[in-house]
Structure 1
Amino acid sequence: MLLEGKVAVVTGAGPGLGRTLARLMAEDGARVVVSGRRAEVVETIAGEVPGTLAVPADVTDAEAVRGLAGRVMAEFGRIDVLVNAAFPGTHRKNVLEMDDDDLAGWRRAVDIGAYGTLLACRFVAPHMVAAGSGSIVNVTSMSSRKGYAGRSDFAAGKAAAHLLSHCLADELGPYGVRVNCVAPGWIHSDVLEDWMRTRAKEAGTTYEEVYRGDVERMALRRIATEEDVARAVIFLASDRAAATTGATIDVNAGQLFT
């Protein structure tokens, strides 16, 4: 098992990727701590994955994140792996359409994607440095390197997290702490399916036609799953990636080559 005996913290854990990460990391031997803004969600995940601890915390709240790190250290005495997986969502508005609520939502998305990632690293990294080892994996996005109309909030937050990871890899490397990214493209999910159905309705066609057209633009002719993304995260978190830092693994089924 790749994570045997390691303590892994997953921030921004939600009912999709966060749940999958917790399950697969536990299956690979980790003692998992799931954290997210919604207590009921992380507690549900902990109830589904044996041995998992739920610690609710908003990643944009410095004191809450400080408390998360302290709670994990009090419980386990160490943090070997940090996965920042918050998904801020997007308002799908272009700059000419944004009203005051959209602007506030834009700032919130960037706070989650960038500042939240920084806070988690700020309060967890010192414990890794003290131990002389650790692995941080930031879940960014294909959108961190390719902009799309109406997604500037999500893209800006994830792009900042992407470059932040490079900076932290350089800063923390001398202490034995690695920092890497996993950049998903589209992920098979209810959210993606709903968006495809909306596009189909607007175009006067079927969901199946939209799905087929989208998949044909991907080199592997399929859409990545949450499990695909989680496996890449687990690899980077594990000792098998011991000489890898400042790197990004794209998980997009050939949707974008960089």
Structure 2
Amino acid sequence: MLLKGKVAVITGAGPGLGRTLSVLMAREGASLVVAARSRDTLEKIATEVSAEVDGEVLPVPTDVTDAAQVKALADATIERFGKVDVLVTAAFPGTHRKNVLDMDDAYLARWRQAVDIAAYGTLLACRHIAPHMLERGGSIVNLTSMSSRMGYGGRSDYAAGKAAVHLLSHALADELGPQGVRVNCVAPGWIASDVLEDWMRTRAAAEGTTYEDILARDTGAMALRRIATEEDVARAVIFLASDQAKATTGATIDVNAGQHFT
């Protein structure tokens, strides 16, 4: 098991990718601390992981933009496990598409909140958890996006937040490398989900065609002719978190099925 004996903290451990990360990292032997704003969501994930894997899972409700709560997350991890080996940051709110010139005051506030969760939330998690890695070394894996390199109309909040995390990770890799702490990114493209399928069906209806035609067109532009799954993304995270990547830092693994080459 790639993470046997390691303690991993996952922020943004909500439904979808966060849950998949939790399950697969636990299968690889990690003890987990899962953090998100919703206690109910975290307890559900902890129950699901514990039912499938004989490992420890500590749910800690956390708003990653609140420094006191993030520090409490770090303290709870050390109190329970005595160490932390891996930090995975995956917190980001769901957003709606809106062009910059169409944003009213309320949406401008949402835009700022989205960037705060991605960028400032990642900064706070690293600031308060990385110090506990300095004696033994460790691995930080930040979830960015294909959009951190190429923005799309209507998604400037997503692109700006993820781009900030991307370059923050470079700076942290330089700062923490001498202490043996590695900092890397995983940048997913589209991830197969009900939300993505609904968006494709909406496009199909608007164009007067079928979902199957839209899917074939979109995947036809991808080198692997398919859309990446949550497990595909989680496996890249696990690799970077593990000792298999012990000489890799300041890097980004793209998981987009060949939708965009870098």
Residue 223 of structure 1: which of 222, 227, 230 is its match?
227
Return the alpha-carbon distance in structure 1 between the equivalents of residues 83 and 172 of structure 2. 20
Q: CA deviation at 1:158?
A: 0.3
Q: Is residue 13 from structure 1 mapped to residue 13 from structure 2 by the alignment? A: yes
Q: Match for residue 166 of structure 2?
A: 162
Return the alpha-carbon distance in structure 2 between the equivalents of residues 62 and 181 of structure 1. 22
1:107-127 deviations in Å (ceiling 9; x for gaps)? 011001100000000000110
Return the alpha-carbon distance in structure 2 between the equivalents of residues 33 and 190 of structure 1. 27
Matches within 5 A, 1:118-137: 118-129=123-134, 131-137=135-141
Structure 1: gaps of 5 or more residues: none
Return the alpha-carbon distance in structure 1 between the equivalents of residues 152 and 132 of structure 2. 38
Note if contact 1:91-1:102 (Cα within 8 Å) is conserved in structure 2. no
1:223-248 deviations in Å (ceiling 9; x for gaps)? 00000000000000000100000000
Matches within 5 A, 1:73-222: 73-129=78-134, 131-222=135-226
Structure 2: gaps of 5 or more residues: 51-55
1:100-147 deviations in Å (ceiling 9; x for gaps)? 111011001100110000000000011011x23010000000000011
1:177-211 deviations in Å (ceiling 9; x for gaps)? 00000000000011111111111121122111111
How many pairs does the alignment contain?
257
1:12-55 deviations in Å (ceiling 9; x for gaps)? 11110010000000000000111001111111100100122111
Note if contact 1:91-1:105 (Cα within 8 Å) is conserved in structure 2. no
Q: Which moved more, 1:48-57 or 1:176-185?
A: 48-57
Matched to 1:213, the amino acid is R
Note if contact 1:11-1:85 (Cα within 8 Å) is conserved in structure 2. yes
Q: Match for residue 40 of structure 2?
A: 40
Matched to 2:41, the amino acid is V
Return the alpha-carbon distance in structure 2 between the equivalents of residues 154 and 217 of structure 1. 22
Return the alpha-carbon distance in structure 2 between the equivalents of residues 43 and 60 of structure 1. 21
Return the alpha-carbon distance in structure 2 between the equivalents of residues 189 and 235 of structure 1. 23
Percent identity of equivalent pairs: 73
TM-score between both structures, scaled by the size of structure 2? 0.97
RMSD: 0.8
Q: Match for residue 243 of structure 1?
A: 247
Q: Which moved more, 1:75-84 or 1:188-197?
A: 188-197
Matched to 2:201, the amino acid is R
Q: Match for residue 53 of structure 2?
A: none
| Over 2 Å off, 4+ runs | 87-91
Q: 2:72 is paired with a residue of what secondary structure?
A: helix
Matched to 1:170, the amino acid is D
Q: 2:26 is paired with a residue of what secondary structure?
A: helix
Q: Match for residue 69 of structure 1?
A: 74
Matched to 1:15, the amino acid is P
Q: Is residue 52 from structure 1 mapped to residue 57 from structure 2 by the alignment? A: yes
Return the alpha-carbon distance in structure 2 between the equivalents of residues 108 and 13 of structure 1. 18
Return the alpha-carbon distance in structure 1 between the equivalents of residues 216 and 36 of structure 2. 34
